[in-house]
Amino acid sequence: MIRFFFGVIVGILLFFLFIYFGGGKAVKKVGEGLTDTGKRMEYIEEVIKKERGEVGKDLKKKIFKEEKEIPQKAQ
What global pTM score does this model have? 0.43
Q: What is the pLDDT of residues 26-47, one digit of tens each?
A: 777 777 888 888 888 999 988 8
Domain boundaries, the chain: 23-69
Q: What is the pLDDT of residues 62-75, one digit of tens each?
A: 666 665 655 566 55
Say how far apart CA 22 and CA 30 lie, in whole Å: 12
Helix, coil or strand: residue 70: coil
| Whole-number CA gyration radius for the chain | 29
Torsion of CA 17, 18, 22, 26, to 10 degrees: 140
